[in-house]
Every structure is written in C-alpha cells, then in structure tokens.
Structure 1
Amino acid sequence: MTNLLEIKDLRLSYPGTGFRSKSPEILKGISLNIAPGETVGLVGESGSGKSTIGRAVLGLAQPTQGSISFDGRDITHLRGRQRRHLSRDIQVVFQDPYTSLNPSLQISDILAEPLIAQGVEARSARNQARQLLDRVGLPANAAERYPREFSGGQRQRIAIARALALKPRLIVCDEPVSALDLTTQALVLDLFIEIQRATKTAYLFITHDLAVVRHISHRVAVMYRGEIVETGATSVVTEQPEHPYTKRLLLAAPTADPDLQAKRRDAWKAFSKQRSAPEPTARVG
C-alpha cells in the first residue's frame, strides 16, 4: 500500500537566542510514514520534539533538512495558496479545545468558516455545520451557541467537527485529550475511532500517554530528544518494549493496582538513578 504521508530524514533547528549562540537541533533525522486510514501514535515526554513534527507537517515549522511528502507530492516548503489548498486534505485538532475556537463566533460560524473559505455557499456551509455536529454527537441547537457554553469534552468534539468539515485525508492530533478528564478522554478517543472507521481518515496522534496510544493507534513511534528510538505495532511496543526509554514511559503510566503501582515506582526509582540517559539505538521496525 502506498503511504499517504512520508517523512524522510527530517531535521529542524530553531535560531539561537543570544549573540553567536548555536541553533539547537530539535529534530535529528526523523523518518516516519502513515498509510491511508492508519493511526500512528507519536509518543514522548515534553520537549522530545513530537509536536514539532506535527507543526512541520502542517507547514508551521520549516525543516532545515529532509522531506515531507503527502500522497507522493513533496510538501516540505509549500507556501501561500498551495499550502491553503492543501488544508482540504490535512487538518489539525489542538490540545486546548477552548483556545482553538474563536470565542466571539457561534458554533455554526466556526464550522462554516473553513467551508466558506473553500468556496462553499454560506447557507450550504451552515447546513453542513449542523450535519457535522450530529456526526460528533452534539445536538443541532449547539450551532447557535458559543464555545464558552460547552464543557471541555464538548468543545473538543466541536474542534473535531471543524477538522472534519473539509473531509481531510489526514488529521494531525496534537495532544487532543490531555486536557480532558479520564471519562471524557475515553469518549473522545472512541469518537476518533468511530470517525476513522466511517471516513478512512488517517491520524498522526501526538501524545505523552502510552495508555492513550494503546487505545487508538495501529502503530507507535517513541521519541526521545529529537529522535525516534523505537517503532512498531502498538501491541508489541506497549507490551514488550525493547528500548530503555520506552520501558521508562510504561513505568510512568499510572495503574489502579496498588501492588503493581508500587513495583513500577520502585523500578522507576532504579531507572532514575542511572547516571547516563539511554542511547537511541533500539528496535525500529
């Protein structure tokens, strides 16, 4: 099967902040691919560079080396009209559902806006907005309300509806459930899965939580300090990890079993006492 998204040897540096300061390299030769209708979970701690990959795919950060291809087309350095046209195929759901929604607009206007920008007539766009609300499990009267009138989970459903408005082939999901409580997380994750089954949309699912990755992803890529240290099928990486850093992430995940939690805590302390960080040289497959 031809890959929908292909990232090859991607490197990215941000300018230094001081005189003669070096440009820190955030991404160090990242290679990753996503097939149509597939979910690839990109997991790692804060500062690992995982969100920077999402920004590069969206054109919000410019690589210094390497390439990003979408459906066989190089999109690494697209600008202006070409990048806007690509937004029909690549959309994003951000971490904070409230700040990603314009608080001064009604929900119908928020959902209709990307459709109108692509040339859809205003009345038709608002009708489609109501259909989108129904798809994500919100009542039709939500269209006349404002973002502040909804809970966090409902606002994230609205953000998902907006991402679906243009029927994209790929959605970059940047920590889309980390700001939600556990019950709401499960509901939103199930919504992502349901939408994917119906639309065959692919997801690049960025998160720090291996439990979330295990729930939604087909494959997992683990990031550490700007590099992918382990990739593979979700069941393999989350149950039989080979790289020490992946094992540390699993130990950091909470569990309801107090005995298991105590064992994890002891193991975590043992790992923390190690003087040197693990080198990223483990399984990639």
Structure 2
Amino acid sequence: MNTASPNGTASPNGEALLSLRDVRVSFPGKRRRARTEVLKGIDLDVRPAETLGLVGESGSGKTTIGRAILGLVPVASGTITFGGERIDTASAARRRALSRDLQVIFQDPYTSLNPSLTIGDTLAEPLIAQGGDARGTRARIAALLDRVHLPADAADRLPREFSGGQRQRIAIARALALRPRLIVCDEPVSALDLTTQRTILDLLLEIQDDTAVAYLFISHDLSVVRAMSHRVAVIHHGLIVETGESAQVTTAPEHPYTRTLLLSAPVADVAEQRRRRERRAEASPER
C-alpha cells in the first residue's frame, strides 16, 4: 500500500503509556459447555506517540484485546494499566473520566454514528459531557472538522449525507474531540475501498505527527499494519506469537504463523500469487 508511513523510523522511547500483563479473557460456552478462553495471557506495551500494530486473522482475539482495554469485556485475570493507573478494575465513573485520554475508532463508521444526530451534535456530545461551554464547543467542532479535512457546514448535516470515507473522518474527529493520549483503532479502514483506505491512513499519520497521539492499530491486513506501525504484535489463537519493529516483523518474520500471514498478502502477479498459495500451505502452522 503506497502511503506515508512511520515504518523505518525508530519507535518512540520512554515508559509505556498502555501496558497489558498476562491478560486473560474467557466467554461462556454454548449449551453449558466450559468457558472458552479467548485471550490466553497477553503482554503488550504501547508507548507515547507510538503506533503498535496488532495483526491476526478473524477470531484470533485481536478485537477482544481492544474491547478489554476499553472496558467493554471483563478481564478474567491479569492487569491493564494506562498512564500508570490500573484500569481493568476501574469503576463506571472512572471509565467515563478516562474517555478524555482513551478513545476508539470502530470499523464501521455508519453504525458508530447516531443517524438521528447532526455531525455537530455528535461532536458536541463528548465536549458537553466534559463540561464544555457553548461558545468553546462551537469553536472546537469547527477545529475538529478542519482537522479531518471536512467543510464547516458538515456540522449541520446527518451521517447518511456522507460517503463511507467521510463518515470515518467524522468518527476520527469525534475520537479526537477531547485530545486523547491513545486511540484504539479497530479495523478502521477495512470497510473502505483501497483508494479511500490510503487517504484515511494518511490522515491518521498526519494527526499523529501533529498531536503525538498513540495508536493501537488493530487489523487483519499485514500490509496496512506495515504502513502504519512503528512496532507490530502478531496474535494467533489468543496468544502473542511475535513482536518487534515493523520492518523486521513484516519482511523477515520469525514465527511460522507470521510467515503465513505475509504469504497471504495479495499481489497483482497471478503466477506469484499461485506460488505464494503453495508456500503458504507448506508453511502453515496448522499442518
């Protein structure tokens, strides 16, 4: 994917902003079966101003990690700390306060926006919830729309009046409203066409350059993760199987599963794609 990238630059230094240690999550089994362990002892760190790419196939547990960080699923054991504060046991009130520093961008921008609210009202909600006054809120909404390259009159329109890429820009603006320190990006471009994906990824990189926000960037697409990330963590069946600098993990991976993901990336050449299929079958850790 041809887009600007932090790949090739050193990962930001310093203590971790977000840390997961031995995090385990399980869900009830169907028809009285034993609980299913989805996360099996996850260790992850995201540093300030860094993008950590989290990549894995559907069902690997990557989205569950994001939901655990956001308090949307309970953690069975282990700890999650943010800014030095343990948050996996935080109360509902504390979680609301944490929204100032910890935000999310979901996969589907349409379902993540209230269809009955104008864009201005959508962007105003977090600002008002944090005690913003009317004048300051209007100014902040205008600044947010400009930040994501949308016209000021977008504030008076409804989500259905925008394209998918524009709606994702609105979702990004909402995530930025309170000037967070970290954003969980959960497959933020997978519902978009390739051209629109590039513009949204470039926007996210531009925002990070300007604001030093950190991203946990969750995706099934290794090429997208490579374009976005300083470091990459690979998850397989609820376990982190490889972590390292983006250039190393995405070009010379050590784990067989990561090599399989690399071989799964589509290429334009039909013969090369066939060779990759054959090599993927030989390298598959499931064999």
Q: Shorter-chain TM-score category?
A: over 0.9
Shift of 1:250: 0.9
2:218 corresponding residue in structure 1 = 206
1:4 corresponding residue in structure 2 = 17
State which drifts further: 58-67 or 121-130: 121-130
1:146 is matched by which residue type in structure 2? L
- Aligned equivalent of 1:83, options 95, 105, 110: 95
Shift of 1:208: 0.1
2:67 is matched by which residue type in structure 1? R
- Aligned equivalent of 1:69, options 52, 56, 81: 81
1:25 is matched by which residue type in structure 2? E
1:50 is matched by which residue type in structure 2? K
- Aligned equivalent of 2:26, options 4, 13, 31: 13
1:252 corresponding residue in structure 2 = 264
Where does structure 2 lack aligned partners over 5 or more consecutive residues? 1-13
* 1:170/1:202 contact within 8 Å kept: yes
For 1:88 and 1:180, the matched residues in 2 are separated by 28
Shift of 1:79: 1.6
Shift of 1:212: 0.3
1:58 corresponding residue in structure 2 = 70
1:221 corresponding residue in structure 2 = 233
**What SS does the aligned partner of 2:137 have?**
helix
For 1:25 and 1:147, the matched residues in 2 are separated by 37
1:242 corresponding residue in structure 2 = 254
Where does structure 1 lack aligned partners over 5 or more consecutive residues? 279-285
**What SS does the aligned partner of 1:18 have?**
helix
1:282 corresponding residue in structure 2 = none
1:8 is matched by which residue type in structure 2? R
Determine what percentage of the aligned residue pairs are the same residue.
Answer: 62
Shift of 1:215: 0.4
1:191 is matched by which residue type in structure 2? L
2:10 corresponding residue in structure 1 = none
Higher relative contact order (CA closer than 8 Å, sequence separation 6+): 2
2:185 corresponding residue in structure 1 = 173
Shift of 1:255: 1.1
1:31 corresponding residue in structure 2 = 43
* 2:184/2:217 contact within 8 Å kept: yes
Shift of 1:57: 0.5
Question: What root-mean-square deviation, in Å, do the aligned CA atoms of Structure 1 and Structure 2 show?
Answer: 1.2
Q: Deviations over 1:43-86 (max 9, x none)?
A: 00010000000001001011111000011111111122111000
2:178 is matched by which residue type in structure 1? L
For 1:46 and 1:22, the matched residues in 2 are separated by 22
* 2:56/2:219 contact within 8 Å kept: yes
Shift of 1:271: 3.9
What is the TM-score when the length of structure 1 is the normalising length? 0.94
1:228 is matched by which residue type in structure 2? I
2:57 is matched by which residue type in structure 1? E
Q: Deviations over 1:89-120 (max 9, x none)?
A: 00000000000000001000000110001100
1:183 corresponding residue in structure 2 = 195
2:268 is the counterpart of 1:268: no
1:125 corresponding residue in structure 2 = 137
What is the TM-score when the length of structure 2 is the normalising length? 0.93
* 1:169/1:201 contact within 8 Å kept: yes
Shift of 1:256: 1.9
State which drifts further: 255-264 or 209-218: 255-264
Shift of 1:178: 0.2
Aligned length: 274
For 2:16 and 2:282, the matched residues in 1 are separated by 40
1:231 corresponding residue in structure 2 = 243
* 1:112/1:122 contact within 8 Å kept: no
1:277 corresponding residue in structure 2 = 286
**What SS does the aligned partner of 1:103 have?**
coil
1:96 is matched by which residue type in structure 2? D
